[in-house]
Amino acid sequence: MLGLGLGLNKLRISSVAWNPAQLGASLALWLDAEDTASITLNGSTVSQWSDKSGNGRNVSQAMAANQPTYTASGLNGKPVLTFDGGDWFSNLSLSLPQFSVSLVETATQNTALIYYPVGFGTGGISVGGTNFGQKFAINGTTSLQSTENSVLNAPTIVFGGSNNLGRQIAVNGNSPATDVTTQSITQITIGQRSDGFWQFFGTIAEVVLTNNLLSTTDRQKLEGYLAWKWGMEANLPVSHPYKTTPPTV
């Protein structure tokens, strides 16, 4: 009987859903549009998106014209923030020699140009238009492009990051493209590049920033968490460990 009881307890513990808080001290910034308590509105636009990491890195925009719109049922019946090509949250100073950024975004305009849902110092995570091969990229002095194309109006999970061995960018849980260039963060901006150009056209549902390049195990847990939360598990490749069930603790 004792053995059976312990077995049930283990089963119960293992069914707890994984979320970015499980990344512990690695978690540097966590913006979650589903958590309406973390969103401050100015009418129908968002003046502040509060950080859930515990680090107090809230992002804000004091200019009404540059605030993203709050869309209550934007993705999988959950809220998202809509950026119209002239919206962004002001820069946060944040120095990270190694990092990763994961986000759920949907590009809603395709031109010849390149747009940045997340900027950091020089460069950022970009969505490229026709002049840029429709690729996602992690940009710094040089760029590393994704294998997969950006698809207009298709919700997408994008992961990019760097450590002292090089960079990675992965789309929808597929194997990352890599190179041996190292890159760091000096600031972070949501909705445009940090120097104020190339504002994003589209929606952002969630952003998770870490102070290291996540291991494959943690990257896949984060991809699984984002996919199941935002109704995008069909986007994951068949070989993904969280294709059929969301990650648990």
Partner 1 sequence: MKYRVFDTEEQAIAAEAQVTLDSGCPKVGVNAKTGKPEPDKQVTERWAIPQQIVDGRWVFPSPDDVGVEADDAWWPQEEMI
Closer residue to partner 1 in complex, CB, 22/84:
84
Residue that the structure tokens 């920033």 belong to: 209
SS3 state at 163: strand
Q: Which of 28, 31, 39, 190 binds partner 1 (CB under 8 A)?
A: 39
Cα first-last separation, the chain? 26
Asked whether position 180 contacts partner 1 by CB under 8 A, the answer is no
Least Å distance, CB 41 to partner 1, is 5
Asked whether position 62 contacts partner 1 by CB under 8 A, the answer is yes
Binding marks (x or -) toward partner 1, 76..115, rule CB under 8 A? ---x----xxx------------------------xxxx-
87 within 8 A of 199, measured Cβ to Cβ: yes
Asked whether position 216 contacts partner 1 by CB under 8 A, the answer is no
**DSSP secondary structure, 24-53, as one string:** GGGEEEEEETT-GGGEEEETTEEEEE---S
Instruction: Please tell me the count of residues contacting partner 1 according to CB under 8 A.
Output: 40
The answer for residues whose C-beta is within 8 angstroms of residue 53's C-beta and 6 or more apart is 20, 27, 28, 29, 30, 209
Residues binding partner 1 (CB under 8 A): 36-37, 39-43, 46-48, 50, 58, 60-67, 70, 79, 84-86, 111-114, 126, 128, 132, 137, 139, 141-143, 145, 197-198
